[in-house]
Structure 1
Amino acid sequence: MVCGGFVCTKHALCALNILYVLVSLLLIGVAAWGKWFGLVSSIRVVAGVIGVGIFLFLVAFMGLCGALKHHQVLLFFYMMILFMVFIVQFSVSCACLALNEDQQNHLLEIGWNKSEDTQRDVEKTLNCCGFSRIDNSSSCPASCFKNPSQSCNTCSEIIQQYTGEVLQFVGGLGLFFSFTEFLGVWLAHRYRNLKDPRSNPGAFL
């Protein structure tokens, strides 16, 4: 059977969805591990990562079942969902790569103000206090704030040193996975229109 035939396309689609299943389990495991060991105290962040992992797992499971059974309905919905995810992820990845410094700072401040749990996680991890200014009347979990002999930096100063590199990495990784999703859409579309050589030659599945 030449590559591009029924069996080859089926195996390629199955392998791609197994990869997605592994990535989804990794996301769920990392989020649970971070919460268990107290690295992340924000329930929203943990729930968000776990939610993305569960969604990816369900989509991959749908694609895997559709590929194994050559099920037309499952493959159609899998193809549509994956195409929408591709559009969203491709757009977000391009936006991450195109953000300038002022836009990065604006988005960071919006994210900072959304959750006090996230603020405490960042302050504790990066050993900083406040986003753009330090408020001595408020509490701060950073070790530098508790030690009078040390001076604390604002978190924006530390975060901005790595924001550009992180966005480049996230954008590049997102672009890579978006093209694998487009590959999944193409494989699913091709696979749906192929005849199973083991079935009745007159039947089109």
Structure 2
Amino acid sequence: MALDTGMKCVKYLLFIFNLLFVISGFAVIIVGAVIEAHYRSYLDFISSSYISAPSVLIAVGVLIFVVGFFGCCGAIKENRCMIVTFAVLLCMIFVVQLGVGVASYILRSDVEDFLHANMLKSMHNYNQSRPGVFKTWNVIQHEHACCGTDNYRDWEATSFGESVDGVPEACCKENTPDCGVDVFSKPEKLAMINQGGCFDKLKGDVEENITILGSVAIGIGFVQLIGVVFACFLAKALKQQYETV
């Protein structure tokens, strides 16, 4: 027996929703991948918690394709089992995304103290034997036109700063050989380097990414609840239909 007109509308709305659902899966994967790649540049400054959040979001995006399959097939074939499976999986995804969103905002509140402490600490490990830290500081200082954590003077208390009586070449406005050497003893060389610190610039960058991550996770999660409602209506209608056959 075919569904009545009202339930047919729900059926096709659920199918259309799943197409949008799959598109949202692409959005989730892209946002998660971009932010994770961005975080990789700061791996020596932030904890694994900041990396795991976008990774979870990427995994959720992949799972969306599987869930979308159940939703589309269940709606078109009027298969109650598949529709119920779709609804359950969608609820699970919503819980995970909500958790990612909440975790992101919690991490955002801790980023200032954590990031500042790690940046200062990592400066003492800036040397060729620690390629990760060495590369990270060079990239950050060059891309953000900054030097040190709070300012260029932070390098003065590090072993690298003491060895060259100055700052890394990445601090220089123009990257020329030995441009950062003897900066502390020759004030005239200060004009050659960026004197402002990297912390404020990096903090804003990380906070912005965390906000985007949390907003996308929670926003798409609540949209998915609409799909759960459609699925429940359709599953209930199918159950009643089978009971009357």
Same fold per TM (> 0.5)?
Answer: yes
Does structure 1 conserve the Cα–Cα contact (< 8 Å) formed by 2:24 and 2:220? no
User: Counterpart of 2:231?
Assistant: 188
Question: 1:117-175 CA distances to partner (integer Å, 9 max, x unpaired)?
Answer: 99479736545577786678498978859453232655432122344454444433333
Contact kept, 8 Å, 2:146 with 2:194, in 1: the verdict is no
- 1:10 and 2:7 are equivalent in the alignment: no
Structure 2: any 5+ residue segments left out of the alignment? 41-50, 123-131, 161-166, 180-191
Match of 1:75 among 67, 74, 83: 83
Shift in CA distance, 24/155, structure 1 to aligned 2, threshold 3 Å: farther
Runs of 5+ in structure 1 lacking a partner?
none
Q: CA RMSD in A?
A: 4.6
Give the whole-Å Cα distance in 2 for the aligned partners of 1:163 and 1:83.
Answer: 29
One-letter identity of the residue aligned with 1:64: C
2-side partners of 1:129 and 1:109: how far apart? Answer: 14
**CA positional deviation for 1:94:** 3.5
- Cα distance, 1:176–1:26 mapped onto 2, change above 3 Å: closer
Task: Indicate yes or no: 2:148 matched with 1:105.
Answer: no
Query: Among 100, 117, 123, which residue is 1:92 paired with?
Result: 100
| Aligned CA distance change for structure 1 residues 189 and 144 (closer, same or farther; 3 Å) | farther
State which of 29, 45, 61 in structure 2 corresponds to 1:53.
61
Q: Which TM-score applies when normalising by structure 2? A: 0.54
**Per-residue deviation, 1:90:** 2.0
Identity of aligned residues (%): 22
Give 3-state SS (helix, strand or coil) of 2:237's partner: coil
Cα distance between partner residues in 2 of 1:179 and 1:70: 25
- Bigger CA drift: 15-24 or 125-134? 125-134
Task: From the CA coordinates, give the structure whose radius of gyration is larger.
Answer: 2
| Distance change >3 Å, CA 201–CA 121, structure 1 → 2 | farther
Counterpart of 1:23 in structure 2 is 24
How far did residue 18 of structure 1 move?
0.7
Contact 2:101 2:215 in 1 (8 A): yes
The normalised TM-score by structure 1 is: 0.63
Distance 1:94 1:30 in 2: 17
Alignment check: 8 A CA contact 1:120 1:140 kept: no
